[in-house]
Amino acid sequence: MAVLRNIDEQLTEEFKKLPIDYWDFEGEDTKELTHGLHNYPAVMVYPIYRNIIDIVKRHGEVETFLDPFMGSGTGLVEGKLAGFNKVYGTDLNPLAVLLSKVKTTVLKEDSVDIQDKLLRENIEQAFVSSKQLLDNIDNYIAEKGLDVSAKDGWGSDAHVILREYLDTYNSGLKIPDFKNMGYWFKPRVILELQLIKDIILQIENEDFRNFFLVCFSETARYVSNTRNGEFKLFRIKKEKVADFNPDVKIEFYKYLDRNIEKIKDFDKRCNNDCEVSVAFEDTRILDSVPDNSIDLMITSPPYGDSKTTVAYGQFSRPSLWWLDLELMDIEELNQVDNNLLGGKKVDKDFECELSSRTLEKAIKEIKEKDLDRARDVYSFYEDLDKAMESITKKMRHNSYQFWVVGNRTVKEVKLLTNEIISELGEKYGLVEVYDIPRNIPNKVMPSRNSPTNETGKTVSTMTNEHIVVLRKDRE
């Protein structure tokens, strides 16, 4: 392991020279290679990671890389492409874990073609042998007088109704049983999804099985009754449900075609021995990463608690309900957001005890306006502080941390997370090297959303971002 040097001056020089729009990436294709395999909320576009990595590599040595809020794995893919020895990522959303694994796994072009052909043949066969089952389901539901857009009846009992239907055909097709399944999925859609899923699950090779599950996950989201383009879980209007009849197989093939191109491109571009560790783990713990081992960290943490900012868990539910990932029981899936940073409110009589004067001032102002919101906000920063402590423990002396953070406004009080991070880091031996402001024309997230969860109610939550560069100044 090479000794890391302090390269503050060189980095500062470079950052100063960069044009103001250097970090905008407006109009660029940010979905190349495996970056485009699956949607995810608030993805940080890959050129940010790539450019930071290039700049740091020009001046210093990097062998190990960490993204402790890896999300869909953008940073891990870039770390692997950069050819580091070891790349680590953690996240508490099971969907993030699956996506990060698949996006960083090279599949050989020849094998991809073979597996793809086999999969399609098996799907076609299954659809032919289940033709009657699929063609008659809508009549069966209509004859029973069920309204497929109703919350009660089909909405709540879809599992029981479908089981009875399948029994009339002596079909052994297993169907999932998550809460309000019929509210989110139509009858034929459920049967078709299950047929495809069963075939994918028969694939023995785990890497291929996971790759196809990612295609399936995008499909499940798309063919569900959820509104596209929303991160929170809202259903399409009741009156639109009856006419929404997606062809599950066609949609699946579309995602498959797209993703096969991307995974093949990744194979062409990525031929190195970089080892990737993807862990389902809380950033406040980070047992999966050895102490004093990381040379470079780049991450975009959440902007605040999931409830009032970006609901990663809620976004992932239509996929997670179907994926049977072993990381969590089906009942726990609806709790993902509560486990993320800021997921649990602090007590009503809390005091601001974190070492940041900027935060203290903001909390005081929010508290005067709305104690409840102040509890959410403080809880987020308390968790972020814990995450900074555990991350820094994993980092080496003179290693660099790049925090890409958004400053949001709560109760008309601006939360200067860039300054707060820098102040919180001091007690862990972190020094601020530079603070780069950036516009976010490309950020895949709404700048307005509804903190109250009410459809149509919007407030501005975020306008710009900062890349805060910190160096660990302690052995």
Given a contact cutoff of 8 angstroms between Cβ atoms, the answer to whether 385 and 427 are in contact is: no
403 binds ligand SAM (CB under 6 A): no
* AA identity, residue 167: D
Q: Please report how close the Cβ of residue 198 comes to ligand SAM at its closest, in angstroms.
A: 29
Query: For residue 374, what is the enclosing H or E element?
Result: helix 371-394
The residue (of 119 and 384) whose beta carbon lies closer to ligand SAM is 384
93 binds ligand SAM (CB under 6 A): yes
Q: Please report how close the Cβ of residue 452 comes to ligand SAM at its closest, in angstroms.
A: 21
Neighbour-count burial for 79-98, b at 16+ CB within 10 Å, e otherwise: bbbbebebbbbbbbbbbbbb
**Contacts of residue 7, Cβ cutoff 8 Å, sequence gap at least 6:** 56, 59, 60, 398, 400
410 forms beta bridges with 413
Contacting range for ligand SAM; rule: CB under 6 A; set: 39-47, 216-224, 248-256, 369-377: 39-47
| DSSP labels, 58-86 | HHS---EEEETT-TTTHHHHHHHHTT-SE
How far is residue 233's CA from residue 111's CA, in Å, rounded to a whole number? 37
Contacting range for ligand SAM; rule: CB under 6 A; set: 36-44, 143-151, 161-169, 229-237: 36-44
Contact residue for ligand SAM among 7, 37, 92, 416 (CB under 6 A): 92
The residue (of 145 and 229) whose beta carbon lies closer to ligand SAM is 229
Task: For residue 88, give the nearest of 274, 213, 302 by alpha carbon.
Answer: 274
From the centroid of its chain, how far is CA 130?
35
On the 0-12 / 13-18 / 19+ scale of CB atoms within 10 A, 285 is: middle
Q: Please report how close the Cβ of residue 373 comes to ligand SAM at its closest, in angstroms.
A: 19
**Block residue for tokens 């259903």:** 235
The residue (of 115 and 306) whose beta carbon lies closer to ligand SAM is 306
470 binds ligand SAM (CB under 6 A): no
71 binds ligand SAM (CB under 6 A): yes
Q: Which residue is nearest to ligand SAM (CB)?
A: 71
203 binds ligand SAM (CB under 6 A): no
Q: Please report how close the Cβ of residue 138 comes to ligand SAM at its closest, in angstroms.
A: 37
The residue (of 301 and 318) whose beta carbon lies closer to ligand SAM is 301
Which residues, 322 to 381, sit near ligand SAM by CB under 6 A? Answer: 340-341
Q: Please report how close the Cβ of residue 367 comes to ligand SAM at its closest, in angstroms.
A: 24
42 binds ligand SAM (CB under 6 A): yes
Contacting range for ligand SAM; rule: CB under 6 A; set: 88-96, 146-154, 255-263, 325-333: 88-96
Contact residue for ligand SAM among 182, 302, 318, 425 (CB under 6 A): 302
Task: For residue 220, give the nearest of 317, 336, 101, 312 by alpha carbon.
Answer: 317
The SS3 assignment for 329 reads coil
Which residues bind to ligand SAM, rule: CB under 6 A? 40, 42-44, 69, 71-72, 74-75, 90-93, 96, 282-284, 300-302, 312, 340-341
